[in-house]
Homo-oligomer: A and B are copies of this chain.
Amino acid sequence: MIKGRVKGKIWSSRRVDSMPSGALLEIEVEEGGQLIAFDPLGCDTDESVLITQGSVAASYFNGRTAPVDALIIGSIDETKT
């Protein structure tokens, strides 16, 4: 998984039917770069989140086929090193 920070939402009115309804968040990845992740948790801007990618993200949507390859799976509390 990777860590990132929520930068904002994106809207896509014209999209494929299999796209689940829910927020699509723009994420600044801690290691650099940006991606768009589906958010099932209702995260806020600037929140630190944990993201899973690939077919693992799509398998979150049990019993349906969702074209989602990046999913927020948790909000990060703190990091102890």
> Which residues on A are within 8 Å of B, measured CB to CB?
1-3, 7-16, 18-19, 24, 26, 30-31, 33-37, 40-41, 45, 50, 52-60, 62, 65-71, 73-81
Contacts and interface: CB of A to CB of B under 8 A. Distances in A.
Contact of A37 (B1, B7, B59, B60): B1
Contacts of A13: 75, 77
| Total identical chains | 5
A58 to B, nearest CB: 5
Contacts of A67: 52, 56-57, 59-60, 71, 73
Given A16-B71, A56-B67, 18 more contacts: A1-B35, A1-B70, A2-B36, A10-B77, A12-B77, A15-B75, A16-B60, A19-B73, A31-B33, A31-B34, A45-B81, A53-B69, A54-B54, A56-B68, A57-B67, A57-B69, A62-B65, A67-B73
